[in-house]
Amino acid sequence: MHANTAARESNIRVRAKWQEELALFNGHNRQRSDVEEFVSGFHKGEPCRVIERFEGAFNHCFRLRFNLSHDVDWLLRFPIPGDVMYPAEKIDHEVATMEFIREKTSIPIPKVIASGRAEGCFAGLGHFIIMEFVDGERLDEALYENDEIKPGIGQPTLDFIYKQMAQIYLELFEHDFDQIGGLSMPVGGGSWHIRSAPLTLKMNEGQRLTGINLNDHREPYTTTEAYLDSLVGQHTRLLCENPESVSNEDEYFEEYCCLQTIKTLTRQIVGSVDCQGPFKLFLDDIRFGNILVDPKTFVIKALIDWEFCYTAPREFLNSPPPWLLPNPDPWDWSSEERVAFKVQVSSFIKVLQDEESRLGKDHGFSHQMRSQHENGTFWYLQAMREPLCCLELMQSWSAEVDQPLETPLDITEFVGKRFRTQVAPKN
């Protein structure tokens, strides 16, 4: 599917305007900038200075160093308007998730110092998180050069990385939840609970690229069936409500066949899993670019960017991870990359099984991951979480399982309504 030109241009303008406003707070017309003064307020007024600033896909970041205490550096992070559609929810979900991870697991993450919405003379800064800065190199940059493994890095290094990642996945799998949605921190000695529907990468990118609000369901989901049906509904809206989603009848035909196939697979999956849970904590945007390592030893120092993390059907966490390839976007894979992915999935599952044995666990997790890879469920779940490139993923599913996309009986009527003409069904 295609994006909506007006929506994209509008968000680009929003982004540019916010960056202009941010620059005013980071000026040096006084002894310290407003950004430095703002952060000092969370450190007993101790002076600090900005030593680095950079942007990720969704956040504008300032690295700050304090002058006197020799503490670790801090990171001030703002969600970028125009790139982030729901900044308040993003911050709330990410902070709650990071606190849960820090309290309940041994997964390395930065320590959160403060979060909220800047007020008073700093109001224009918007929502923010302050956390400890973790000094490490992005794993993708440490491992790859020009989308190839760097010279001198062999399978033993990959297996060491896989071992650490397997431990993280198995630790996440230990925690059960009775609903699908966003974590909420305990209040007054209470327990961790699910307060709202998930905030997903698909919802953010769907609205950013098309202008369609997919964040209109507020309550948590209680079954896998209800959640998968909602994802199908989101895809239907992205196809039907965006006037620029397709360019012609042929594209619409293909997209509708894709949608029908997803609906059929959803019914099959709902009939084969326990829809009542338990549900598992799942990170939408886990990739090597969001993992910091020691570049000499490849020891993981921190997983960062937890904003699109939520409790999900266990099948989501059980799915083979796309980060096994230098290009972590399966919709963009060539046939050669699909073959390479199979090799790396087998390597990762072997490491996963070794970790299960070492920890005295059964092999249920690794067995389900292997099953998803072999029966094509991997491609279906990737498609369900993708805002625009669902068709490309389902075409890969079709190639892997040797089964064509399904042609709906009402295809002629459906396409005809969009283009005010009738087309004959294709063979």
Q: Does domain 139-419 have CATH number 3.90.1200?
A: yes
Separation CA 235–CA 270 (nearest Å): 18
- Assess whether the region 5-133 and the region 139-419 belong to the same CATH fold: no
Instruction: Locate 121 and state its tokens.
Output: 């003379």
Q: Which of 426, 365, 427, 373 is nearest to 397 (CA)?
A: 373
**Topology of the domain comprising 5-133:** Phosphorylase Kinase; domain 1 (3.30.200)
Sequence-separated (6 or more) residues with CB below 8 Å from residue 356: 170, 362, 363, 365, 366
Long-range (24+ apart) CB contacts under 8 A made by 57-66 are 57/83, 58/83, 58/84, 58/90, 58/204, 58/305, 58/307, 59/84, 59/305, 60/19, 60/22, 62/26, 62/35, 63/133, 64/35, 64/36, 64/39
Task: Name 127's bridge partners.
Answer: 117
Q: What is the mean pLDDT of residues 124-137?
A: 93
Q: Taking a C-beta distance cutoff of 8 angstroms, is the pair 301, 134 a contact?
A: yes
Residue 162 vs residues 209, 306, 366: alpha-carbon distances, Å: 34, 20, 13
How much is the pLDDT for 126? 86
Q: Give the pLDDT band (50/70/90) at residue 30.
A: low
Q: Taking a C-beta distance cutoff of 8 angstroms, is the pair 178, 279 a contact?
A: yes
- Higher pLDDT, residue 351 or 29: 351
pLDDT tens digits, residue range 371-389? 999 999 999 999 999 999 9
Half-sphere exposure of 11 (CA within 13 A, CB side): 22
Q: What is the mean pLDDT of residues 165-180?
A: 98
Instruction: Locate 399 and state its tokens.
Output: 């190639």
* CA distance from start to end of the chain: 22
According to the 3-state scheme, what is the secondary structure of the chain?
CCCCHHHHHHHHHHHHHHHHHHHHHCCCCCCCCHHHHHHHCCCCCCCEEEEEEEECCCEEEEEEEECCCCCCCEEEEEECECCECCHHHHHHHHHHHHHHHHHHCCCCCCCEEEEEECCHHHHHHCEEEEEECCCCEEHHHHHEECCEECCCCCHHHHHHHHHHHHHHHHHHHCCCECCEEEEECCCCCCCCEEEECCCCHHHHHHHHHHCCCCCCCCCCECCHHHHHHHHHHHHHHHHHCCCCCCCCHHHHHHHHHHHHHHHHHHHHHHCCCCCCCCEEEEECCCCHHHEEECCCCCCEEEECCCCCEEEECHHHHHCCCHHHCCCCCHHHCCHHHHHHHHHHHHHHHHHHHHHHHHCCCCCHHHHHHHHHHHHCHHHHHHHHCCCCCHHHHHHHHHHHHCCCCCCCCCHHHHHHHHHCCCCCCCC
Q: At residue 149, does pLDDT exceed 80?
A: yes
**Distance, CA of 226 to chain centre:** 21
Q: At residue 188, does pLDDT exceed 90?
A: no
Q: Where are the domains of the chain?
A: 5-133, 139-419
How much is the pLDDT for 34? 85
Q: Taking a C-beta distance cutoff of 8 angstroms, is the pair 78, 128 a contact?
A: yes
Q: Of 103-107, 119-123, 244-248, 341-345, give the lowest mean pLDDT range.
A: 119-123
Separation CA 187–CA 386 (nearest Å): 34
Mean pLDDT of the chain: 93
Instruction: Locate 197 and state its tokens.
Output: 């529907």
Tally of residues, the chain: 427
Instruction: Locate 244 and state its tokens.
Output: 């620029």
Burial per residue of 22-31, b for 16 or more beta-carbon CB atoms within 10 angstroms, e otherwise: beebeeeeee
Separation CA 197–CA 141 (nearest Å): 34
How much is the pLDDT for 244? 97
Residue with tokens 């669902």: 390
Instruction: Locate 195 and state its tokens.
Output: 């307060």
Q: At residue 422, does pLDDT exceed 50?
A: no
Q: Give the pLDDT band (50/70/90) at residue 423.
A: very low
pLDDT tens digits, residue range 64-102? 999 876 678 999 999 999 999 999 999 999 999 999 999
